[in-house]
Structure 1
Amino acid sequence: MELSIAKEIIEAYGFTADNVSLQQIGSGHINRTYLLSSLKDNKKYILQNVNAEIFKDPSAIANNIKIVADYLKTHSPEYLFPAPITTLNGDLMAHYNNEYWRLLPFVDNTLAFDTLSDTKQAYEAAKQFGKLSRLLNEFNTSALTITIPGFHDLAWRYEQFTFALNEATINLKANPKEIIETALHYHFIVDYFRSFEHSKEFPDRVMHHDTKISNVLLNASTNIGVCVIDLDTLMPGKFISDLGDMIRTYICAFSENETDLNKVKIRLPYFEATVKGYLAEMSTILTPTEKELILFSGKYIVYMQALRFLTDYLNGNIYYPITYATQNLDRAKNQFKLLSELFENEKILQGIIDECLS
């Protein structure tokens, strides 16, 4: 085994360094992920390091997943929920030298995509994320621990932005003056959210909170959805977290790293496929208020992400990895362009939603 993984981690799961092979996989920036192949029986597993710098309490993640896995095993035993395998000692994670590792079953004949190339992929991914929340509709969300406090709290993200703005140097604030004005202009999104935040018609649900396309497995031959993965942020939240993040990441052909803003456009077929896929599972349980907020969910998450990029730029780029000094500023510009597209195409998009609901 050539990769620098402590033998104690491997041994905690009953393997030794000389009877496994390891290959680093995945495109995530938070956790390190490896394909572990047993040389004894040719079985495959996913070995993943949980980043304790981001997730301050890895045991809370493990407990959340176990609680949900136990619930689904009882209430939806046919549902594929790839929960971690316990160590030889029965622990939910292997802990050694201040590192936390988990071993997951490998799901055969599946693929995880980094980018969408077909509307069917968007539909199936949205359907899978919706299915997980639907199956957990009766689950007591208070049983779960918040693994990242304030993760999708737009009001708090706005406060972080204004604090960074007040603390930033004159030079840092001079370059993005127009974008700062744009960020301040869209504050009404925060106010609108606050107007119904505590409504009974806007309940807490079990949300994945990170619904990018690479966090769902599709059948390698048919592209039909199989299951969702990377459950670190599985915790209580609002439906807008999942659907909004899908709208943000599925409807544009280019990521937030695209600097040619003329390319940042909404792909209407992908928007329709995403909404249809999500509603295929969630339409029967969403409240009337939630259904009215489908388009708003995209605005909410896109605005929040724009603020986070801009805040990081004003803070001196301390959170998101960058390859050049103004990359976070460019990312913020990209997201504000996408936000403007949602507003400019509002009537068309709402028409698609209304048709999907009917």
Structure 2
Amino acid sequence: MLQSILKAYGLSAAQCKVRPFGSGLINHTWKVECPGGERDYILQQINQDVFTNPEDIALNLSALAAYLREHVPGYIFPEPLTTLDGNTIVRDEDGYFRLMPFIGPSVAYDVVTSPAKAYEAAKQFGRFTHLLEGFPAAELRITLAGFHDLSLRYQQFETALLQGDKDRIAASRDSIIRAQQFRGIVTTYEHIRVSQDFKLRVTHHDTKISNVLFDEKGKGLCVIDLDTVMPGYFISDLGDMLRTYLSPVTEEEADLSKIEIRDHYFTAIVDGYLSEMKHSLTQAELRHLVYAGKFMIYMQALRFLTDHLNNDRYYGARYEGHNLVRANNQLVLLEQLSAKEETFNNMIRKMLQLPV
């Protein structure tokens, strides 16, 4: 299957070693090692069930790469390579493929194991947005429509309450009530969308730790997996880091007593992100750093709960009630962050010398 793809880039499948690579769940990924070559490569097949218009991704990455080459030539950006015909994406009967240089020596992590790693990851995502501050974000193509639209997610939740599985709705009443109590997070988001104090920026939208490459000394090198890069608000990137780095357990944990907000991780994330973004964010944005975490945690709780009420049509389920467990996990995380919101906001105000 891959022979014709590699040939389009001037590589020989017979001479190169191709093996599955990484732990990503969306795209199929291989590492390509060619004996005698100056470098190794990463080959990916884009998942068209998720990204229905791969050409939009290619256009986005080409535009960002051109901007960075001109304005920040030393920045490591995993730009797709061009084929012998000058294209950055190849299509055959199996779908869309692209080839990128393998960035090494480097390492990626699936779990945040220290505040130092949280700091470095946050710094890299902040740097990515900061360096692209002069890029016209609104010109980027939307690769996942409504991906971080909290208003849309709440509407889908309300629709599920009307049209979802009646038995599951009745059995999930406590979780539904808890979710509804945080409706104010949606109201704040709707204010952000119309406020001139919140800037539309080049935003990664998927800031889990595995999307950062580190060097052998534990320092961040760059961000990867750029398919979700779109116009967005800073709350998406900072919020997803808070959602996925703060607790020692993931959204899959069914023992809710293990969920906790680790204060030193919160400090590391904020410090790392602001080391790059402090002077780019407006005063209003700086007052919504904790809100960013609430925004993303709440959205994921709604998505899991909605899917449970709709009989697991989107995420699927490995066991009965799987998505309800995930939703309750995120609701507990949201409740715990909300309980610390005033403390964290006071800490941020003192750190940044913001007016009360």
Interval of TM-score (by shorter of Structure 1 and Structure 2): over 0.9
Q: Distance in 1 between matches of 2:300 and 2:212?
A: 21
Equivalent residue, structure 2, for 1:32 = 28
Equivalent residue, structure 2, for 1:229 = 224
Equivalent residue, structure 1, for 2:261 = 266
Equivalent residue, structure 1, for 2:343 = 348
Instruction: Structure 1: state its 5+ residue gaps.
Output: none
**Residue deviations 1:261-283, cap 9 Å, x none?**
01110111111000000000000
* Contact persistence 1:141–1:236 (CA under 8 A): yes
Q: Distance in 1 between matches of 2:352 and 2:346?
A: 10
Amino acid aligned to 1:203: K
- For residue 327 of structure 1, report the CA deviation from its aligned partner: 0.9
Partner of residue 120 from structure 1, selected from 113, 116, 121:
116
- For residue 142 of structure 1, report the CA deviation from its aligned partner: 2.0
Q: Distance in 1 between matches of 2:29 and 2:312?
A: 25
Equivalent residue, structure 1, for 2:164 = 168
TM-score, scaled relative to structure 1 = 0.96
- For residue 357 of structure 1, report the CA deviation from its aligned partner: 2.4
Q: Distance in 2 between matches of 1:356 and 1:207?
A: 25
**Residue deviations 1:167-209, cap 9 Å, x none?**
1122121221110111111111111222232111101000000
Return structure 1 stretches of 4+ with deviation > 2 angstroms. 39-43, 351-358
Q: Distance in 2 between matches of 1:195 and 1:35?
A: 44
Q: Distance in 2 between matches of 1:98 and 1:59?
A: 15
Partner of residue 326 from structure 1, selected from 299, 313, 321:
321
Q: Distance in 1 between matches of 2:195 and 2:38?
A: 52
Q: Secondary structure at the match of 2:61?
A: helix
Is 1:135 aligned to residue 131 of structure 2?
A: yes
Q: Distance in 2 between matches of 1:208 and 1:112?
A: 17
**Residue deviations 1:100-140, cap 9 Å, x none?**
11111111121110001111110010000000111111111
Equivalent residue, structure 2, for 1:79 = 75
Q: Distance in 2 between matches of 1:318 and 1:62?
A: 29
Q: Secondary structure at the match of 1:19?
A: coil
Q: Distance in 1 between matches of 2:282 and 2:246?
A: 24
* Contact persistence 2:235–2:293 (CA under 8 A): yes
**Residue deviations 1:324-347, cap 9 Å, x none?**
121111000000000001111112
- For residue 354 of structure 1, report the CA deviation from its aligned partner: 2.6
Q: Distance in 2 between matches of 1:321 and 1:76?
A: 42
Q: Distance in 2 between matches of 1:266 and 1:291?
A: 20
Q: Secondary structure at the match of 2:319?
A: coil
Equivalent residue, structure 1, for 2:4 = 8
The aligned length equals 353
Equivalent residue, structure 1, for 2:100 = 104
- For residue 42 of structure 1, report the CA deviation from its aligned partner: 6.5
Q: Distance in 2 between matches of 1:145 and 1:41?
A: 34
- For residue 47 of structure 1, report the CA deviation from its aligned partner: 0.7
Q: Distance in 2 between matches of 1:125 and 1:321?
A: 29
Q: Distance in 2 between matches of 1:90 and 1:80?
A: 21
Q: Secondary structure at the match of 1:197?
A: helix
Q: Secondary structure at the match of 1:275?
A: helix
Aligned-residue sequence identity (percent) comes to 44
* Contact persistence 1:21–1:38 (CA under 8 A): yes
Partner of residue 238 from structure 1, selected from 220, 233, 236:
233
Equivalent residue, structure 2, for 1:66 = 62
Q: Secondary structure at the match of 1:108?
A: coil
* Contact persistence 1:272–1:353 (CA under 8 A): no
* Contact persistence 2:204–2:229 (CA under 8 A): yes
Is 1:188 aligned to residue 184 of structure 2?
A: yes
Amino acid aligned to 1:217: L
Equivalent residue, structure 2, for 1:280 = 275
* Contact persistence 2:287–2:345 (CA under 8 A): no
Q: Distance in 2 between matches of 1:272 and 1:256?
A: 21
**Residue deviations 1:274-297, cap 9 Å, x none?**
000000000011000100110000
* Contact persistence 1:275–1:356 (CA under 8 A): no
How much is the aligned-residue C-alpha RMSD, in angstroms? 1.2
* Contact persistence 2:2–2:13 (CA under 8 A): no
Amino acid aligned to 1:113: Y
Instruction: Structure 2: state its 5+ residue gaps.
Output: none
